[in-house]
Amino acid sequence: MTYKFMPHTADVKIQASGNTLEEAFSSSAEALKETIAGKIKINEKIKKDIIIQGRDNESLLYNFLEEFLYLLDAEDFILSKIEKIKIINNQLKATITGDKALNYKFNNNVKAVTYNDMFIKNEKNKFICQFVLDV
């Protein structure tokens, strides 16, 4: 699983990849976490199961990443890691761990995930997800 930050004029553009679609989604979530919290190590004190739906892979990725922003705002939860993730028929089920966000100081305020420049593709047996975060 890997990700890289891409040049963008105003926001944060990310390309995340993995050998499977699940790994690419996990890398995307990890990049979102780094955008919010930098390199801070987040403790694994809270475990959650989430289920996300989408019309297609792009809307599924959008909804998946937005779920982490919702959890941060509504439940004061910050992601530490994704323990397991499975995608079948535009439905994602994952077990995630994290901690209360109030225990940490964050670098960026991510306002939203956008569809701007978003794509998901399979190239040379590798899945690549690209998306832009509004900061």
pLDDT at 7 over 80: no
The least confident of 3-7, 9-13, 35-39 is 3-7
Count of structural domains within the chain: 1
Written as six digits, the tokens of 84 are: 């397991």
Helical ranges in 76-125 per DSSP H: none
Average pLDDT estimate for 115-122: 96
CATH value at residue 90: 3.55.10.10
Q: Is 98:80 a contact under the CB 8 Å cutoff?
A: yes
Q: What is the pLDDT of residue 3?
A: 82
> Domain range spanning residue 79?
2-134
Evaluate if pTM is beyond 0.85: yes
Residue 90: Cβ within 10 Å count = 14
pLDDT at 2 over 90: no
Phi/psi at 72 (5° precision): -65, -50
pLDDT at 94 over 80: yes
Q: What is the pLDDT of residue 109?
A: 87
Phi/psi at 104 (5° precision): -135, 160
pLDDT at 8 over 80: no
pLDDT at 5 over 80: no
Average pLDDT estimate for 118-130: 96
Among all chains, which residue has been given the structure tokens 């978003």? 118
Return the DSSP state at 125. T
Q: What is the pLDDT of residue 1?
A: 60
